[in-house]
Amino acid sequence: GENVEQHPSTLSVQEGDSAVIKCTYSDSASNYFPWYKQELGKRPQLIIDIRSNVGEKKDQRIAVTLNKTAKHFSLHITETQPEDSAVYFCAASSSTGNQFYFGTGTSLTVIP
């Protein structure tokens, strides 16, 4: 089955700096890569996603890049704010879309 690895496990940045979280996957058949944000005590919620036929996608301060050849994808958050502090999960979806495989999560702390 699919194996998703995520790094780093914890990340601290100063407010206004950028944050980058990296993930790798093993199954070349995976074709959808969502990112979820989980605030303390809350449910994971989708913040951005990318399909396998796209190399980069941006949404305001958030961007995701995908390198299919190397099987890795990354989340970039620019101009970080304290409300960006949360746990972020990357995931890879099987080609049928019925299974999501998650990374182990990155706890991001933005220091005011």
Partner 1 sequence: NAGVTQTPKFQVLKTGQSMTLQCAQDMNHEYMSWYRQDPGMGLRLIHYSVGAGITDQGEVPNGYNVSRSTTEDFPLRLLSAAPSQTSVYFCASSPGGSYTEAFFGQGTRLTVV
Q: How far is the C-alpha of 85 from the C-alpha of 56, rounded, in Å?
A: 23
Interaction pattern, residues 16-45, with partner 1; x per rule: CB under 8 A: ---------------xx-x-------xxxx
Distance from CA of residue 67 to its chain's centroid? 14
Note whether 63 and 87 are within 8 A (CB): no
Omega prior to 82 cis, within 30 of 0: no
How far apart, in whole angstroms, are the C-alpha atoms of residue 22 and residue 26?
A: 14
Number of residues that bind partner 1 (CB under 8 A): 27
Q: Of these, 73, 75, 103, 110, which contacts partner 1 (CB under 8 A)? A: 103
Does residue 70 belong to the site contacting partner 1 (CB under 8 A)? no
Tell me: does residue 61 bind partner 1 (CB under 8 A). Answer: no
Rule CB under 8 A: which residues touch partner 1? 1, 6, 9, 31-32, 34, 42-46, 49, 51, 89, 91, 93, 95-105
